[in-house]
């Protein structure tokens, strides 16, 4: 559905549910979020229950405007204004010191809080009409692939969600970049829709990477195994894909091969199909999760993925596919 056609009635119905402590899934430019009133501990508990997510994994609070920052953050370093001016609304989450009156459920017991203004007309209409912060993790079961369409949310969470707002296909397709500004310096906690280089350029300083556990950064909820399809996924350099595919077919598997290329999808045999993935990192990010959702429902035994380039613009995609493949790697190692 065209987001522009979303009716005011839908937004009002969603606001009524949020005020009543229910959940509403909503589109953002990155992925769909599972929203609840960030100031209502009981509503927040529903998010954790619906997702099957551990209670100590903090949630991002979505806000409509920078003027709402000080309702959630204890202090706002100068860097926030520079980043907000350039990137908000947009796919950037900032971690700041939490105000003590913010429910601890929202931050998983941390003394920090994640905040962002999403860049999607439906999300912004909802936030403005609700007038308060909406806590919103990705609207998928814990550990699974994030949803980039309303249908993905319905497929994954079904009737547990109070309402799913339609907003078309997410433009960015991978989750927001997360930057912590808690200890005086900027630390990248999750690569995402905005590249680290753009953040460094805006701040005029190097951004330390906390992704691999360096910089003493705490990233609760960033697990090695995450964003995973049900179907085991393996990643290989392009030259190895064909050999591995044939090996699996000989073992009786049905295999989907995700190759970098320009063509559309083509069937090669009854047991192998090739799916061409975009050569541009932004375009690849946009279709990654929808491709995984689709292939996951198509009855394959294994997904084989061509390793994308290891250049800065591919960092977010490489991060997500490594996590998606993690369990398969573990399985193979343990026999």
Q: Distances from the Cα of 30 to the Cαs of 10, 162, 176, 237, 321, in angstroms? A: 21, 21, 6, 27, 16
Determine the interface stretch with Mg ion among 39-47, 137-145, 255-263, 290-298 (rule: CB under 5 A).
Answer: 137-145
CB of 108 to ligand TXA, least distance (A): 7
Residue 259, number of CB atoms within 10 A of its CB: 15
Nearest CB to Mg ion, comparing residues 143 and 261 = 143
* Binding partner of residue 112 among Mg ion, ligand TXA, none, CB cut-off 5 to 8 Å per kind: ligand TXA
176 binds Mg ion (CB under 5 A): no
CB of 315 to ligand TXA, least distance (A): 15
* Binding partner of residue 316 among ligand TXA, Mg ion, none, CB cut-off 5 to 8 Å per kind: none
* Binding partner of residue 222 among ligand TXA, Mg ion, none, CB cut-off 5 to 8 Å per kind: ligand TXA
Q: Residue 34: which H helix or E strand, with range?
A: strand 33-37
Q: What does the block give as tokens for 126?
A: 């909802």
180 binds Mg ion (CB under 5 A): no
The whole-angstrom separation of Cα 12 and Cα 14 is 5
Nearest CB to ligand TXA, comparing residues 107 and 290 = 107
- E strands present in 98-207: 112-116, 134-135, 163-164, 177-180, 187-190
* Binding partner of residue 58 among ligand TXA, Mg ion, none, CB cut-off 5 to 8 Å per kind: ligand TXA
CB of 137 to Mg ion, least distance (A): 5
CB of 309 to ligand TXA, least distance (A): 23
* Binding partner of residue 136 among Mg ion, ligand TXA, none, CB cut-off 5 to 8 Å per kind: ligand TXA
Report the residue from 30, 110, 112, 138 that binds Mg ion according to the rule CB under 5 A.
Answer: 138
- Are 24 and 165 in contact by the 8 Å Cβ rule? The answer is yes
The whole-angstrom separation of Cα 112 and Cα 181 is 10
Chain residues in the site for ligand TXA (CB under 6 A): 28, 30-31, 33, 57-60, 91, 93, 95, 107, 110, 112-114, 118, 136-138, 175-176, 178, 189, 219-222
Total residues interacting with Mg ion, rule: CB under 5 A: 1
In three-state secondary structure terms, 87 is helix
The whole-angstrom separation of Cα 147 and Cα 140 is 6
**Cα–Cα–Cα angle for 163, 167, 170, rounded to 5 degrees:** 120
112 binds Mg ion (CB under 5 A): no
93 binds Mg ion (CB under 5 A): no
DSSP letter for each residue of 248-263: HHHTT--EEEEEESSS
The whole-angstrom separation of Cα 54 and Cα 35 is 17
Nearest CB to ligand TXA, comparing residues 114 and 232 = 114
Nearest CB to Mg ion, comparing residues 23 and 138 = 138
The whole-angstrom separation of Cα 144 and Cα 39 is 26
Nearest CB to Mg ion, comparing residues 11 and 228 = 228
Nearest CB to ligand TXA, comparing residues 113 and 295 = 113
CB of 13 to ligand TXA, least distance (A): 20
The helix-helix angle for 78-87 and 196-203 (nearest 10°) equals 130
List residues binding Mg ion (CB under 5 A).
138
């Amino acid at each position: 559905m065209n987001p522009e056609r979303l009716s005011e009635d839908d937004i009002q119905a969603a606001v009524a549910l949020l005020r009543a402590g229910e959940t509403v899934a909503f589109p953002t430019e990155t992925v769909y979020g599972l929203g609840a009133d960030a100031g209502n501990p009981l509503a927040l508990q529903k998010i954790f229950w619906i997702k099957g997510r551990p209670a100590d994994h903090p949630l991002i609070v979505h806000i409509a405007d920078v003027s709402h920052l000080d309702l959630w953050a204890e202090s706002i370093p100068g860097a926030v204004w520079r980043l907000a001016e350039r990137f908000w609304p947009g796919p950037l989450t900032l971690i700041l010191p939490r105000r003590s009156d913010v429910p601890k459920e929202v931050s998983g017991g941390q003394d920090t809080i994640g905040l962002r203004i999403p860049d999607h007309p439906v999300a912004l209409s909802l936030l403005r009409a609700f007038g308060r912060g909406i806590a919103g993790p990705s609207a998928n079961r814990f550990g699974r692939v994030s949803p980039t369409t309303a249908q993905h949310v319905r497929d994954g969470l079904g009737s547990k969600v109070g309402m799913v707002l339609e907003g078309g296909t997410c433009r960015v397709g991978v989750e927001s970049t997360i930057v912590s500004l808690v200890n005086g310096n900027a630390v990248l906690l999750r690569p995402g829709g905005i590249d680290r280089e753009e953040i460094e350029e805006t701040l005029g300083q190097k951004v330390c990477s906390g992704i691999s556990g360096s910089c003493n950064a705490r990233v609760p909820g960033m697990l090695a195994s995450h964003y995973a399809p049900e179907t085991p996924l393996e990643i290989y350099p392009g030259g190895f894909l064909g050999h591995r595919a044939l090996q699996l077919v000989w073992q009786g598997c049905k295999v989907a091969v995700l190759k970098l290329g320009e063509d559309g999808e083509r069937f090669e045999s009854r047991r192998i199909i090739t799916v061409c993935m975009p050569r541009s990192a932004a375009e690849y990010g946009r279709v990654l999760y929808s491709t995984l959702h689709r292939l996951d429902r198509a009855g394959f035994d294994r997904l084989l993925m061509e390793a994308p380039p290891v250049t800065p613009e591919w960092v977010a995609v490489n991060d997500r596919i490594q996590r998606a493949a993690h369990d398969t790697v573990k399985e193979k190692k343990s026999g």
